[in-house]
A and B are shown apart, each in its own frame.
Chain A
Amino acid sequence: MPPADVARVGAAGLVTRPLRAVLAAAGIAIGVAAMVAVVGISASSRAGVERELAAIGTNLLTAAPGRTFTGEAARLPDEAVEMAGRLDGVTGASATGRLDLGVYRSDLIPAGETNGIGVLAVRPDLLGPVGARPADGAWLNEVTRQGPALVLGAEAARLLGVHRASADVRLWLGNQWFVVVGVLAPAPLAPELDTAVLVGWEAARSLLGFDGGIGTVYVRTDPDRVADVRALLARTVSPAHPNEVLVERPSDALLAQEVTDRALTGLLLGLGAVALLVGGVGVANTMIVSVLERRAEVGLRRALGATRAQIRTQFLAESLLLSALGGTAGILTGAVVTWGYAWSRGWPPAVPGWAQAAGLAVTVLIGGIAGLYPAVRAARLPPTEALAAP
């Protein structure tokens, strides 16, 4: 029989009982939708991270003092930044230093309630290497970096309730008032800046008792030479004690980050598998009922000249169509869910082709397995007995 006739005869059984077909296919649709959505959302989140990284670059390295072999905090040489800047392949280098101070909205707030906001002394050329920029106000200039002025990280600004830089906005820091001259946009590669207030290196030394110790060296490299620079960076910033230097590439952490919740992913995948199983059983059950109800039809078809193989093919085709109906609906639903979720998170939506193909393959497999037994039973019906059925 030509494939078109096989499909038409297979569909005939479904068309006469549309509600039953929809209900039988629903389980498979839900299962496939859950799986496609899980894969799609994880792919979209990855696409989101990759797009972000493409914008901010993956060529930032950091070097920070670790511990000496006796367990004390190590200290980098004061010239570490300049030495790093001279390294072949480095396009920019800067540094911050940590101050053990709190910052407050007013002088009445008890010391210690810092909201986790740190205070960093910054070199004036910090923005270039870390890829940050002021969202409001300005960066520290010749004057402000010498005096009681500060720039807020994006998250710190939110926590302190400061949304605009202004001469009227002052924060209490180290027993004196500092003016907020700028607020930074989020810096994805240097999230430690987001939760800090930044003061000029000189101001920190003269006003806040900063000892000038380097906390983190930021190095931006030629994009093709990241690995070379990384290999030499520890020795460059601390020639005497390279093993006390912790070198990192912040974009690695971003890439490795599981943006989607692992537990939720596992739950959804498990739910999808159960739904597929239940869906398969549903299709098998529907097919068995269908064969029982249509004994007379089978007998008639045999009388019209259908071979056993043609009867078997008919019911197998019906089962495959039923399952494919569910699978297609599932893929569409999964794609829509992915689009919606990705849109709400600002990710580029991505439903990998392999996930759709896998969804369809699983569907066909289930339809084939579920339909096999009913189809064989239908083919074995003796035509006379089938015709005797009411």
Chain B
Amino acid sequence: MIELRDVVKSYGAVTALAGVTVRVEPGELVAIVGPSGSGKSTMLHLAGTLDRPTSGSVRVAGHEVSALSDRGLSALRAQRIGFVFQQFHLAPGVTVRDNVADGLLYTGVARRERRARAAEALDGVGLGHRLTHRPHELSGGERQRVAIARAVAGRPSLLLADEPTGNLDTASGAEVMRLLRALHDDGTTVVIITHDRELAAGLPRTIAMRDGRVAA
């Protein structure tokens, strides 16, 4: 599903990734751990085609990223990849349902269908009764569940989560992890960046990062 080979990513003088080779098979559930600044987010962005490597090759869902245009990459993200971020990134003042429905805005699905699928996805994360609420009326854990619903409403085959529990208390974090495991059980490839060693230890595979390299 993801294949990074000899990937280097530099920002001017800073080298965020210094030659990374990693493979994630379809259907895997993987934790990425490592100290702050070790290049975890950079790797996730490359795997999510949000950025291109300085050198090396990135293949996602069978596509060589360097060979795709902006349109091609955008279509890949719209159809195959879902993202969950630490800061949720929900639109303020917009209902929970429309936040999730807007996740499908660039997939070519009609509005009525987008809203129907949004309701369905929100049901899936246990928020089917909060469709008309606005983000500021929800707890942090609930907001992250809305973000997960948005990421999975398009039924992506790859879900990338950058510290999804970083802003949450233990109970909410556990609920979010339960949802991500459930997605994995349904066949989605799930990659989770986390600071939480204990949480990572509970997952089938862990990739440890240090100074822009895979440590183990």
Contacts and interface: CB of A to CB of B under 8 A. Distances in A.
Contacts of B75: 305
Nearest to B111: A5
Contacts of A387: 50, 85, 89
Given A4-B111, A5-B111, A301 B106 contact: yes
B69 to A, nearest CB: 9
B135 interface: no
Interface stretch (A66-74, A150-158, A213-221, A306-314): A306-314
Contacts of B111: 4-5
B74 A302 contact: yes
A288 interface: no
A303 B48 contact: yes
Interface string B93-115: 11000000011011100110000
Contacts of B93: 15-16
Contacts of B77: 302-305
Interface in A340-390: 382-384, 387, 390
B93 to A, nearest CB: 5
B16 to A, nearest CB: 10
A9 B77 CA distance: 19
Interface residues of A, number: 27
- Report whether over half of chain B's contact residues are helix, strand or loop; otherwise say mixed: helix
A212 B136 CA distance: 96
Contact of A383 (B50, B92, B107): B50
A5 B75 CA distance: 18
Interface residues of B, number: 28
B50 A384 contact: yes
A389 to B, nearest CB: 10
A55 interface: no
A304 B106 contact: yes
A305 B107 contact: yes
B103 A304 contact: yes
A16 B50 contact: no
Contact of A304 (B51, B70, B94, B102): B102
Given A12-B94, A297-B91, A306 B106 contact: yes
Contacts of B105: 1, 5, 9, 301, 304, 306
A329 interface: no
A296 interface: yes
A300 interface: yes
B71 interface: yes
Interface in A249-307: 296-297, 299-307
A301 B89 CA distance: 10
A1 B74 CA distance: 14
B45 interface: yes
Interface in B30-84: 45, 48, 50-51, 70-71, 74-79, 83
A1 B78 CA distance: 13
Contacts of A16: 91-94
List the 6 closest pairs (A to B, CB-CB), nearest first.
A305-B78, A305-B106, A307-B74, A383-B50, A305-B77, A300-B89
30 contacts: A4-B111, A12-B94, A16-B92, A297-B89, A299-B50, A301-B105, A302-B50, A302-B74, A302-B77, A303-B83, A304-B77, A304-B83, A304-B102, A304-B105, A304-B150, A305-B74, A305-B75, A305-B76, A305-B77, A305-B78, A305-B106, A305-B107, A306-B105, A307-B70, A308-B70, A310-B74, A383-B50, A384-B51, A387-B89, A390-B87
Interface of B: 45, 48, 50-51, 70-71, 74-79, 83, 85, 87, 89, 91-94, 102-103, 105-107, 110-111, 150
